[in-house]
Amino acid sequence: MAVPKKVIWSRDPHTAAKHDLLRRYLSAWAPILLSRHDVITYAEGFSGPGIYEGGEPGSPVVAYDVFAGALHRYPKRLRMVLMEEHKQRAEKLCEQMGLAQARRPSDLRDRLSVDVREGDFHPALIQKLRATGSLGKPLFVLLDSYGGPDIPYSLLRDLAQQPSTEVMVTFAPSFLTRFAERDLAHRRRGDAAFGGQEWQNVFTKPKSDKFLFLRDQYKATLRRAGFSHTLQFEMLDEGGRLLYLIFGTSHAKGLEKMKDALWGVDPSHGVRYRDPKDPDQQQLELALEPNTAPLRRILLDHISASHAGRTVEELQAYTLLETVFRPAQVINLIRQMRYEGVVLTEPNGVTKKTRVTPPTSHPAAGPAAPEQDTLW
Ligand SMILES: C[S@@+](CC[C@H](N)C(=O)[O-])C[C@H]1O[C@@H](n2cnc3c(N)ncnc32)[C@H](O)[C@@H]1O
């Protein structure tokens, strides 16, 4: 997709997938945090006009509707801070947010404040968040540019240093691989986004490795900024341009919920992602019956790497923190692997405490009978 010139433009499939993911994630994030905090904040640096040509809602309206539902259940407050640089898009966004608010009862409108600002997101967004006391309290920041790179590392660091902040950043690697090698100004833009120059090693990589290298550098950048967990989604826009959505959090719960959201995204949207721990770097299509073959290989490697094997609980933690798969996928997979004789379990029934070892640890044992899926 070329960068749109019009005030509103048509929504393409990858945007639909992004909204699906956002809706699913915020539907978990908001109730969990509202159950524990009096006020939480959602912010966008690149909000868009709030509506697409076909009438579909933009990301701020998607988020607003989720929050209105959550605040129905919790008598708490939620603040939305929305930045948009393009004047007419900002006006359109004000209009769309006004319509979203008008659909809700007035007591809810008082508890769900919406602040639309026209202008460059940086440094206005962080200043606004600071001035409203939103930093240091639960905060989700969506930085959904056309892929830039546009986000200064210093902003990521300022956000990551706050204990309850999470970010989702859109990153398009093609700009840097196409233009930055020969153009100093473009390279500087890369340096500002990555907070250093290591990313420039991309110029020495073979063509086939360049995008993955930059993606991993960007994830490392988020971790260096202070987000202990990252997760990436790979999307192709209609022009075949690769976009990554990179999520950063310092909470295992946030990571778990984002994975749940990812595995729930409508597969017809065609979002794909790769697991960095999968040696084949296989691209997975999100499917109703997820392909867990890569997780199987990953778990087997991890089990084999320890003479004593691993408990199911350890395998679930590893799955959560080190792969794109979900802990909930582990138990059934271990049962299946045990049935096929690929691993042994002690005791036979698979629970969190069960120890899983490679068959070579107990050569006499054979496949056990399949077990009913009653424990999960
Ligand atoms: C990819 S679109 C956002 C789409 C929106 N998040 C959604 O999903 O519906 C990017 C938006 O960022 C705006 N934008 C570009 N540069 C900006 C900047 N420096 N500060 C604020 N907004 C900017 C553009 O005008 C455009 O509306």
| 88-135 tens-digit pLDDT | 999 999 999 999 999 999 889 999 999 999 999 999 999 999 999 999
Position in ligand 1 atom list of the atom nearest CA 150? 19
pLDDT at residue number 312: 94
pLDDT at residue number 306: 87
Give the SS3 label for residue 225.
helix
In the predicted structure, residue 370 carries a pLDDT above the cut 90: no
Longest Cα–Cα distance in the chain? 73
* pLDDT tens sequence across 49-59: 999 999 999 99
User: Which domains does the chain show, CATH number per domain?
Assistant: 13-274 (3.40.50), 293-361 (1.10.10.10)
Which strand ranges, in their side-by-side order, compose the sheet holding 344-346?
310-311, 355-357, 344-346
Q: Is 48 in the pocket of ligand 1 (CB under 6 A)?
A: yes
Q: Is 59 in the pocket of ligand 1 (CB under 6 A)?
A: yes
Measured in Å, residue 261 CA sits from the centre of ligand 1 at 23
Measured in Å, residue 141 CA sits from the centre of ligand 1 at 13
- The two tokens of residue 164 are 């309850």
Q: Is 258 in the pocket of ligand 1 (CB under 6 A)?
A: no
Measured in Å, residue 294 CA sits from the centre of ligand 1 at 35
For residues 232 and 219, the answer to whether their CB atoms sit within 8 Å is yes
More confident residue, 2 or 264: 264
Query: Cβ–Cβ contacts within 10 Å for residue 12, how many?
Result: 16
* pLDDT tens sequence across 176-232: 888 878 888 888 999 999 999 999 999 999 988 999 899 999 999 999 999 999 988
pLDDT at residue number 104: 94
In the predicted structure, residue 13 carries a pLDDT above the cut 70: yes
pLDDT at residue number 283: 47
Query: CA 332 → CA 119, 259, 306, 352, 370, distances in Å?
Result: 50, 17, 21, 12, 10
The pLDDT of 343-358, averaged and rounded, is: 90
Nearest-CA residue for ligand 1 atom 10 is: 145
pLDDT at residue number 290: 56
In the predicted structure, residue 274 carries a pLDDT above the cut 80: no
Q: Of 44, 84, 91, which is best to mutate to test ligand 1, by the most ligand atoms within 8 angstroms of its C-beta?
A: 84
Measured in Å, residue 83 CA sits from the centre of ligand 1 at 8
Q: Is 120 in the pocket of ligand 1 (CB under 6 A)?
A: yes
Q: Is 256 in the pocket of ligand 1 (CB under 6 A)?
A: no
Position in ligand 1 atom list of the atom nearest CA 62? 9
Q: Is 117 in the pocket of ligand 1 (CB under 6 A)?
A: no
Per-residue confidence at 272, pLDDT binned at 50, 70, 90?
Answer: low
In the predicted structure, residue 322 carries a pLDDT above the cut 90: no
Q: Of 18, 47, 51, 53, which is best to mutate to test ligand 1, by the most ligand atoms within 8 angstroms of its C-beta?
A: 47
CA distance 141 to 166: 6
The pLDDT of 329-338, averaged and rounded, is: 90
The pLDDT of 281-301, averaged and rounded, is: 65
In the predicted structure, residue 288 carries a pLDDT above the cut 80: no
Nearest-CA residue for ligand 1 atom 25 is: 86
Per-residue confidence at 373, pLDDT binned at 50, 70, 90?
Answer: very low
CA distance 280 to 283: 9
Q: Is 63 in the pocket of ligand 1 (CB under 6 A)?
A: no
Mean pLDDT of the chain: 87
The values of phi and psi at residue 169, to 5°, are -120, 135
For residues 315 and 329, the answer to whether their CB atoms sit within 8 Å is no
